[in-house]
Structure 1
Amino acid sequence: MLYLEDLKVGDHFVSRDYEMTLEEIQQFAHLYDPQIFHTDVQQAAQHPVFQGIAASGWHTAAVTMRLWTECFPVAHGLIGSESSLRWPRPTRPGDLIHVDVEITAISPSKTKLDRGLVSYVTQALNQHGEVLLISTTKIVVFRRDAQVA
C-alpha cells in the first residue's frame, strides 16, 4: 500500500489491459445509459457522430476506476476530492483499455497533519495508444503513521 510519503511528482502507474466486449457494452448501457449508439448495432451504424456501437463514457469511466484501484494501491482507498473528465474518442467493442496515471502535485494538509491531497492525470488508452478518457483528479492520501478509524 502507498502512503503520502511514498509518492513523488512524476511517479507513473500503468494498469493491465481490460477488453471491452460488445455484450458488456450493451449490458451496461441497458442498465445505466440506454441510448441507441450504446445498445443497437444497426442503429448505431447510422449515427452521425459515433458511426457504430460505442461504450457509454460512464462505462469507460467505471472500467478506468477498476484499473486505477488495481495499479494505484493507496492505503485506505482512492478517496476522491475532485475530478474532471473528458472523452476524446469513443470506446469500441474489442478495445483493450489500460490506464496510465501520472502524479502532478502533492499538497500536504496544513490543518490535518495525517494526510494530504495528491493530484494526478489519468489517461485510459486503447490498444493503438489512442486516448479514450482523460481525467484530472485529486484524492486524499494518508501518511503512514496516520490514525484512521
Structure 2
Amino acid sequence: MLYLEDIKIGDRFFSREYEMTLEEIKQFAHAYDPQPFHTNEKEAEEHLIFQGIAASGWHTAAVTMRLWTECFPIAHGLIGSESSVRWPRPTRPGDKIHVEVEIAAINPSRTKNDRAIVTYVTQTLNQNRDVLLISTTKIVVFKKDTLPE
C-alpha cells in the first residue's frame, strides 16, 4: 500500500489490460445506460456519431476505477474529492483497455497535517493507444503514521 511519503509528482502507474466484450457492454448498458447505441447493434450502426455499438462512457469509467484500484494501491483506499472526465473516443467491443496514471500535484491539507490532496491524471487507452477516457482526479492520501479513527 502507498502512503503520502511513497509518492511524488511525476510518478506513473500502469494497469493490466482488460477486454471489453460485446456481452458485457450490452449488460452494463441495459442496467445503467439503456441507449440504443450501447444495446442494439443495428440501431448503433445507423447512429450519426457512433456508427457502431459503443460502450457507455460510464462503463469505461467503471472499468477504469477497477484498474485504478489494482495498479494504484493507496492506503485507506482511493477516497475521491473531485474528478473531471472526458471521453474523446468510444470504447468498442473487443477493445483491450488499460490505464496510465500520473501524479500531477500534491497539496498538503491546511487543517490536518496527516494528509494531502493528491491530483492525478489518468488516460484509459485501447490496444492501439487510442485515448478513450481522460480524467483529472483529486483524492485524499494519508501519511504512514496516520492512526485509524
TM-score scaled to structure 2, two decimals? 0.99
Q: Which runs of 5+ in 2 are unaligned?
A: none
Letter aligned with residue 25 of structure 1: I
For 1:52-93, what per-residue CA distance to the aligned partner results, in whole angstroms no more than 9, with x for missing partners?
000000000000000000000000000001000000000000
CA RMSD of aligned residues (A): 0.5
Alignment length (residue pairs): 149
Letter aligned with residue 67 of structure 1: L
Distance 2:107 2:34 in 1: 40
For 1:1-35, what per-residue CA distance to the aligned partner results, in whole angstroms no more than 9, with x for missing partners?
00001100000000000000000000000000000
Instruction: Report if the CA contact (8 A) 1:114-1:147 is conserved.
Output: no
1:1-149 superposed matches below 5 A: 1-149=1-149
Letter aligned with residue 37 of structure 2: F
- Structure 1 counterpart SS, 2:80: strand
- Report how far residue 148 of structure 1 moved: 2.0
For 1:87-135, what per-residue CA distance to the aligned partner results, in whole angstroms no more than 9, with x for missing partners?
0000000000000000000111121111111001000000000000000
Q: Which runs of 5+ in 1 are unaligned?
A: none
TM-score scaled to structure 1, two decimals? 0.99
